[in-house]
């Protein structure tokens, strides 16, 4: 919200709001949660609490960012706010590899796509449970891109009641082959992994979907989701025109899960982007996710 303050005649006038259709009482509060990973690495996470939370033992949704080199921070997050409005505690961990904590923290995630990054996420859940914030029997995971992969790995482990993947990677070997086949030659990303900044002329940002960084995070491993090992209901949402992670990733896993007799819902959207960024795509995601959670982990 934006205000005009008059110090001579004390009064406050509201000028405008970024989200005027969302009443202030609806906005969920946020705070940071700091904890230690299994090897002692310090991890920060964003906690979004329901507008009128219960005192203890809330149902928890772990919302995982893309990348792995993404970042979650305090501020309005459409998906976290929507989930909190339904009564869920939302945890968004900045596991190793996330940006915003320096080059060494990013590099600590190299080769850990299927390793320490996942244990960083589990440690965040354990800390929320230890503090009495979350009910350990009512945990679901949801993520975009790499976050979708991590959520599906949690479904393999059986540590969650349900998992949802949005535009997610499901088979890193085929995904890497797909990316390599579409890389330009010569590929400027191979030299610097930079992209022109959208905000500052003549400056560069880290390329958000760098093929070179993907290879660094994967290391020598080429892990895939094993449909036969999945032990929790799964929701797959994918935009048909996704140019970063092809819809074939979710289609193939959907077929494998059905063949294995696993509970799975698959929603294919018409959108062309990666990570829902249009009103229509976000509405469809919210409708699918909230219905899925209500079925497998209702908030009350």
Per-residue pLDDT of 171-229, as tens digits, reads: 999 999 999 999 887 777 777 777 787 778 888 877 778 899 999 999 998 999 999 99
Q: Please state, in angstroms and rounded to a whole number, the distance separating the CA atoms of residues 163 and 27.
A: 25
Q: Please state, in angstroms and rounded to a whole number, the distance separating the CA atoms of residues 76 and 111.
A: 31
161: Cβ contacts below 8 Å, ≥ 6 apart: 137, 138, 139, 140, 232, 233, 296, 297
Instruction: Output phi, psi for 27, to 5 deg.
Output: -70, 125
Q: Are strands 89-94 and 194-196 parallel, antiparallel or unpaired?
A: unpaired
Looking at residue 144, what is its pLDDT? Answer: 97
Query: Do residues 215 and 183 lie in contact, with contact meaning Cβ atoms separated by under 8 Å?
Result: no
* pLDDT band at residue 279 using 50, 70 and 90 as cut-offs: very high
SS3 189: helix
Q: CA angle 143-144-148, nearest 5°?
A: 55
pLDDT tens string 70-117: 999 999 899 999 999 999 999 999 999 999 999 999 999 999 999 999
> What pTM, to 2 d.p., does this model score?
0.91
């Amino acid at each position: 919200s934006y205000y005009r303050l008059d110090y001579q005649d004390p009064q406050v006038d509201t000028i405008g709001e970024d989200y005027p259709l969302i009443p202030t009482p609806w906005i969920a509060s946020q705070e940071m949660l700091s904890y230690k990973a299994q090897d002692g690495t310090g991890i920060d996470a964003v906690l979004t609490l329901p507008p009128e939370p219960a005192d203890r033992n809330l149902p928890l949704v772990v919302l995982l960012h893309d990348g792995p080199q993404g970042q979650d921070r305090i501020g309005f997050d459409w998906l976290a706010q929507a989930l909190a409005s339904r009564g869920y505690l939302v945890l968004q961990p900045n596991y190793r590899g996330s940006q915003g904590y320096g080059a060494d923290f990013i590099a600590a995630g190299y080769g850990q796509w299927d390793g320490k990054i996942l244990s960083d996420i589990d440690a965040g859940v354990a800390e929320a449970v230890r503090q009495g914030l979350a009910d350990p029997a009512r945990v679901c995971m949801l993520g975009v891109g790499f976050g979708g992969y991590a959520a599906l790995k949690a479904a393999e482990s059986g540590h969650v009641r349900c998992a949802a993947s949005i535009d997610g990677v499901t088979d890193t070997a085929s995904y890497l082959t797909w990316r390599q086949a579409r890389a330009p030659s010569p590929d400027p990303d191979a030299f610097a992994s930079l992209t022109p900044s959208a905000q500052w002329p003549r400056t560069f940002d880290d390329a958000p979907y760098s093929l070179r960084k993907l290879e660094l995070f994967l290391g020598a491993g080429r892990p895939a989701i094993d449909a036969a090992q999945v032990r929790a209901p799964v929701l797959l949402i994918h935009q048909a025109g996704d140019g970063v992670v092809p819809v074939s990733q979710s289609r193939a896993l959907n077929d494998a899960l059905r063949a294995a007799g696993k509970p799975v819902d698959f929603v294919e959207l018409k959108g062309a982007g990666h990570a829902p960024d249009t009103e229509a795509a976000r509405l469809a995601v919210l409708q699918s996710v909230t219905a899925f959670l209500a079925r497998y982990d209702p908030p009350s």
